[in-house]
Copies of this chain bind each other. A is one copy, B any other.
Amino acid sequence: MRGFTPAEFQARTTRAQERMAAQGLDGLLLMSEPDLRYFSGFHTLFWQSPTRPWFLFVPASGKPIAVIPEIGAELMRRGWLDDVRTWPAPRPEDDGISLLTELLSPLAARGARLGVMKGHETLLRMPLGDWERLLAALPGLEIADATGLVQGLRMVKTPAEIEKLAHICAIGSATFEAVPQFVSEGMPLDAVFREFRRTAIGLGADDAPYVVGAADQGGYADVISPPTQQPLRAGDVLMLDTGCTWDGYFCDFDRNWAIGQADDAARRAYDVLWRATQAGIDAARPGATCRDLFQAMSAVIAELDDSGGDIGRLGHGLGMQLTEQPSHAAFDTTVLQENMVLTIEPSLSYGDGLMMVHEENIVVTDGTARLLSTRAATELAILR
């Protein structure tokens, strides 16, 4: 089923309000696509246009209030919210600022605390100049960082969210399984990407917005570039990494193949990474920390690469965004809880500047983690 029930949005809001009360917050002002969608259900691709800001105010009690461009009114009013305030955006001299000032003035008058997203992995999705004007119009309002509160809520998925994530991970798995049917030596890498996208969408993904990868002799050196037109050659290691979406939720995992033949170094790197991935999956239990997962994977990676790496982390949360909190890194002591959906993503360097990445998607349960992606083959598969 697409979308969520009003009861789900009510429950999310109630949980947020309980935490707001505990932290002395009198309201939340949210602006980013996933944060708005989490509490309102507002789902549109229109966010790809940077022109208009969108706002959602979560009060201490009662339903959230939307302050949005008129172009979104019809869609927002079909959802569970009652109070939808609009202006004919774009209107550069007043893009929602007077509506927000009116809404927040009572809070400012009593010196209330407003939570906004100021921390790690956030951005300010409105013009900085407008933000400064809004603050100036609301003297007395105290701004507090609500990053931990909102990310803490979003990190633990609801059963309905997990269903969507499982669905898109299954589509991602089916797409990777189809790769040997359409990829072979001589195919240009950009054609591989193109056919991968078409296959994912044909298999039921709404879209495949994130398709990256690389292919080169004995391995690759970079995992975030657009594809070249270089034809696949015997001895290449091909990696494809994808974030496909269904109903606004992402999968995010990758697969490696060798073209025609694999050398020992690539096969060894693959084996170490497969076992590092398994160590991460096995460590993913309630009560363990993200740091524990990082260390479990690092211990295996160190068989081949003891540099500690510089990618920064070995996996992350997954949901409405391709990457979400938490991070499997030494700095992140987030305690895992049941129903967190995570990527397990070890990487290593080998040979002369080569790297390899592996990734699976899991949901934390009260026992062993449940795989949402179909586990990669234990040995580096050969495409012929």
- Residues of chain A in range 70-88 having any CB-CB distance to chain B below 8 Å: 70-72, 74-75, 86, 88
Q: Do B145 and A44 touch (CB < 8 A)?
A: no
Q: Which residues of B sit under 8 angstroms from A193, Cβ to Cβ?
A: 206
Q: Do A209 and B48 touch (CB < 8 A)?
A: yes
Q: Which residues of B sit under 8 angstroms from A209, Cβ to Cβ?
A: 45, 48, 207, 209
Q: Do B127 and A45 touch (CB < 8 A)?
A: no
* Chain B min CB distance to A3 (Å): 9
Q: Do B120 and A312 touch (CB < 8 A)?
A: no
Copies in the assembly, this chain: 2
* Chain B min CB distance to A218 (Å): 16
Which of B71, B207, B226, B329 contacts A311, CB < 8 Å? B71
Which of B52, B93, B207 contacts A197, CB < 8 Å? B207
Q: Do B127 and A119 touch (CB < 8 A)?
A: yes
Q: Which residues of B sit under 8 angstroms from A127, Cβ to Cβ?
A: 118-123, 147
Q: Which residues of B sit under 8 angstroms from A123, Cβ to Cβ?
A: 50, 123-128
A105-113, A177-185, A319-327 - the one binding chain B:
A319-327
Q: Do A128 and B120 touch (CB < 8 A)?
A: no
- Bound-state CA distance A89–B43 (Å) is 30
* Chain B min CB distance to A144 (Å): 11
Q: Do B117 and A128 touch (CB < 8 A)?
A: yes
Interface digits, A109-153 against B, CB 8 Å rule (1 contact, 0 not)? 000000011111111111111011000000000000101000000
* Chain B min CB distance to A25 (Å): 16
- Bound-state CA distance A194–B208 (Å) is 11
- Bound-state CA distance A93–B329 (Å) is 13
* Chain B min CB distance to A146 (Å): 11
- Bound-state CA distance A210–B86 (Å) is 24
- Which 8 A-B pairs give the minimum distances between C-beta atoms? A118-B129, A124-B124, A92-B120, A46-B224, A49-B323, A74-B222, A70-B310, A118-B128
Residues of A at the B interface (CB closer than 8 Å) are: 2, 43-46, 48-52, 69-72, 74-75, 86, 88-93, 95, 116-129, 131-132, 145, 147, 193-194, 197-198, 201-202, 206-212, 221-226, 243, 310-313, 316, 321-323, 327, 329, 331
